[in-house]
Structure 1
């Protein structure tokens, strides 16, 4: 069943406030193959001019998973999770974030479009990441929904 575009755009998505933990940054940096010691060694980070370990690229995506029900918005739109694929992820960085920062993530659905005669729908969610009211980064994800009942 196609997603109701207007309902999706009006759907309120709760903000998420999280504190960035040094241990999680180290774990994430290692798990994603970061070789620059600035992401895992506090002394190296400080020598590079950072107040603490900086947030590695793409880390913000993992913070969105801190929500009590990170995919609840899909259920609210009657999307069957068995028909969902993670299609795309992108980030725009405005200023660095570091261990110890308290960040607020405010997601919203910004677009829905379809292809193949509505057999595939693409739901675009943007999340603004702020610290003390200042924009730190924007994360955008695209979820692909297969509508099996639509014949191509």
Structure 2
């Protein structure tokens, strides 16, 4: 069983530079075809100051920063028993190449179902830019099979 006292535990913040090459690679990987995600001139022509961060990139960037590994260690979880249950995003402003995004996450709930055969960990995150402006709120639900 996961330690329920970890509810409201704030995880170590992750800070990530939104690097152009990485943004282009991610956009291609998710099948994005809009030129604003690949071509700086097209992005500027569309009114953006630089390449916009593609949808869902912040989730992947948090993974790249080691956030999942830290959470797994804290919860003492076996990766082989982990499922990604849900992910949702609420966007408040655009993020662009060159921005430095900090993600701060809190475990907001831990509960079980099916007599403890499945445990759920709910994590809420806030992503802010280098000006401390809220860019997005993320919510993830992890499922652990026992």
Q: TM over 0.5: same fold?
A: yes
* Other-structure match for 2:108: 110
* Other-structure match for 1:13: 11
- Cα distance in 1 between the residues matched to 2:59 and 2:16: 12
Contact 2:16–2:65 at 8 Å: present in 1 too? no
- Cα distance in 2 between the residues matched to 1:53 and 1:136: 15
**TM-score of the aligned structures, taking structure 1 as reference length:** 0.89
Which stretch of the first structure deviates more once superposed, 64-73 or 121-130?
64-73
Higher helix share: 2
- Cα distance in 2 between the residues matched to 1:60 and 1:106: 12
Runs of 4+ in 1 over 6 A off after TM superposition: none
- Cα distance in 2 between the residues matched to 1:65 and 1:141: 12
* Cα distance change, pair 55–45 in 1 and its aligned pair in 2 (3 A): same
Q: How many residues align?
A: 145
- Which structure 2 residues correspond to residues 18-97 of structure 1 after superposition, within 5 A? 18-68=16-66, 70-97=68-95
- Cα distance in 2 between the residues matched to 1:69 and 1:51: 29
Which ranges of structure 1 fall in alignment gaps of 5 or more residues? 148-152
Q: What secondary structure does 1:71 align onto?
A: helix
Which stretch of the first structure deviates more once superposed, 67-76 or 88-97?
67-76
Q: Please tell me the root mean square deviation across aligned C-alpha atoms, in Å.
A: 1.4
Which ranges of structure 2 fall in alignment gaps of 5 or more residues? none
- Cα distance in 1 between the residues matched to 2:106 and 2:58: 15
Contact 1:111–1:124 at 8 Å: present in 2 too? yes
